[in-house]
Amino acid sequence: MKWTSIFAIVVLALGVLCWGQRLLEIPEYDGRDRVHELTNKNYKTVMKKYDIMVIYYHKAIGENLMARKQLEVEELALELAAQVLDDLHDKDIGFGLVDVKKDVAVAKKLGLEEVDSIYIFIDDEIIEYDGELAAETLVEFLYDVIKDPVEIINNERELKGFFNLVEDIKLVGYFKNEDSLSFIEYDDAAEEFHPFVKFFATFNPQIATNLKLDLNEVNFYEPFMDEPVIIPGKPYTEAELIDYIEEHDRPTLRKLEPHSMYETWEDDINGQHIVAFAEESDPDGFEFLEILKEVAGVNTENPDLSILWIDPDDFPLLVPYWEKTFGIDLSSPQIGVVDVKDADSIWMEMDDEENMPTANELDIWIEEVLVGKIDPNDNEDHDDFDDIDSEDSDEEKEKKDNEEEDDADKNDDEINYNDD
């Protein structure tokens, strides 16, 4: 594909900069064509040329102009990623496109399944990337991909670094050494989840003592939880570890991250997400996040609860749009329930940003969400319950009757929520 746009020339313009500036100049696309269009004929040859192959399995083009334009923007992101990684010294990373309609055979042979996803082929593994299609986010993700799947903790300071990582699921095991059979099983399991789940190990008995780990034992940490769970039944086979992680891969509290945002969003519960907005670098946001973590800690055994934390700082371009769509002000923390189909939502009332809800209040609110008493689809007419009582449909009547029963049963504190 040829690029005749303004991008072709920009890189030349950088030639006029002095060195000092150039060291910090974020690269623009230079217009050279690096992304391959994979076909049944060329895909094997192309893929052999690279250590790692990044393949965008995209919607069919040719159907309409808009889809083609959209693909061109996405392809620009891939071209920029390919250009930047051209300079990487120790790995050859190739980029390719597979069209869902034109290249059915290639997709089948490579095992591509979800359209609009990126598949990364490295050694014998295939990693699915379902995050933001921007060069920055994808390239940063690829740096994680080429790291070892298990990181070794050698000393106290590295252990502190381990404890400092709280946003992903992480595991840590204590093994005799790299040749130990248990470690090899662990390492194989790590490859299955790399780089989404973080695997650590130590061979140092002192570090193991600090982690309260026996030999060949593995601790599993949910995101944002200080206390790990010891995976039962050591020593574990690769399959046992994989099973355990797959059973526990939806955390009680998880963060929306650009490199996996679409995948996380698709993993809704009954078509809804409990979404919490909190800016960690703001004292109010930090405070609310602490409360959230406390509530998550209490509910860690509840499989029906997965709160999605979004830090607005990570998605600055979406903030005004979210504010408008949800009718909320993101300059202070918010928690609500969002219907993923129609974007209906309902938000907990926090009348004063200096008065956050207590963990207990938040816990009660969440419980009401889980039993369906707080439902984004009730949002519009909730305020008018009394007025429109006589016009209720049978379905609504039944629902409200159930709600009243719930009330009587549980004697909950009253919760206010926002209705606009």
Residues 358-417 that bind a second copy (CB under 8 A): none
Applying CB under 8 A, which part among 11-19, 207-215, 233-241, 246-254 lies near a second copy?
11-19
CA dist 246 and 267 (Å) reads 14
Binding to a second copy (CB under 8 A): which residues in 246-265? Answer: 261-262, 265
Could you tell me the CA-to-CA distances from 15 to 3, 77, 180, 253, 376 in Å, in that order? Answer: 20, 22, 53, 47, 54
5 binds a second copy (CB under 8 A): yes
* Residues numbered 286-305 forming contacts with a second copy, rule: CB under 8 A: 286-287, 290-291
User: Measuring CA to CA, how many Å separate 390 from each of 393, 394, 396?
Assistant: 9, 11, 11
Cβ proximity to a second copy, 74 vs 378, nearer residue: 74
Pick the binder of a second copy from 38, 52, 82, 135 (CB under 8 A): 135
Q: 200 vs 365, which CB is nearer to a second copy? A: 200
Residue 312 Cβ vs a second copy, minimum distance, rounded to whole Å: 8
- Say whether residue 270 binds a second copy (CB under 8 A): no
Tell me if 79 sits within 8 A of 71, measured CB to CB.
no
Measured from the CB atom, is 43 or 333 closer to a second copy? 333
Query: Interacting stretch for a second copy, rule CB under 8 A, among 37-45, 136-144, 382-390, 412-420?
Result: 136-144
With contact defined as beta carbons under 8 Å apart, do 184 and 201 qualify?
no
Sign of CA dihedral 289, 291, 297, 300: negative
Q: Where does this chain touch a second copy (CB under 8 A) — which range of 37-45, 231-239, 318-326, 410-418?
A: 318-326
The only residue of 302, 325, 402, 416 in contact with a second copy, by rule CB under 8 A: 325
Report d(CA 267, CA 264) in Å as an integer.
5
Q: Measure Cα distances from 10 to 32, 137, 328 in Å.
A: 12, 22, 40
Q: At what angle do helices 359-370 and 283-298 cross, to 10 degrees?
A: 60
Scanning residues 199 to 228, which ones bind a second copy (CB under 8 A)? 200
Q: Which of 24, 45, 179, 301 binds a second copy (CB under 8 A)?
A: 24
Residues 164-203 that bind a second copy (CB under 8 A): 164-165, 200
**Strand arrangement of the beta sheet that strand 125-129 belongs to:** 36-37, 93-99, 52-58, 117-122, 125-129
Q: Element (H or E) spanning 186, and its range?
A: helix 181-193
Tokens of 31: 């217009």
The answer to whether 19 contacts a second copy (rule: CB under 8 A) is yes
In the complex, least distance from residue 401 CB atom to a second copy, rounded to whole angstroms: 30
> Does residue 276 contact residue 332 with C-beta atoms inside 8 Å?
no
- Could you give the string, one character per residue 94-123, with x where binding to a second copy holds by CB under 8 A and - elsewhere? ------------------------------
- Least Å from the CB of residue 221 to a second copy: 14
Between CA 299 and CA 304 the distance in angstroms is 10
Say if CB 259 and CB 140 are below 8 A apart: yes
Report whether 11 contacts 5 (CB < 8 A): no
Q: Which stretch binds a second copy (CB under 8 A): 106-114, 128-136, 235-243, 369-377?
A: 128-136
C-beta of 110 vs 292, nearer to a second copy: 292
Assess 351 for contact with a second copy (CB under 8 A): no
Site size toward a second copy (CB under 8 A) is 94
Which one of residues 13, 41, 391, 414 is an interface residue with a second copy (CB under 8 A)? 13
Q: What angle do CA 156, 159, 165 make, to 5 degrees?
A: 150
| Min separation Cβ 307 and a second copy, Å | 17
Q: Tell which positions 49-88 bind a second copy, by CB under 8 A.
A: 65-67, 69-70, 72-73, 80, 84-88
Residue 165, SS3 per DSSP: coil
Q: Is 224 left (phi over 0), alpha (psi -120 to 50) or beta?
A: left
Between 210 and 331, name the residue whose CB sits nearer to a second copy: 331
d(CA 250, CA 93): 31
Is 161 among the residues that bind a second copy (CB under 8 A)?
A: yes
Q: Cβ of residue 319: shortest distance to a second copy, in angstroms?
A: 7
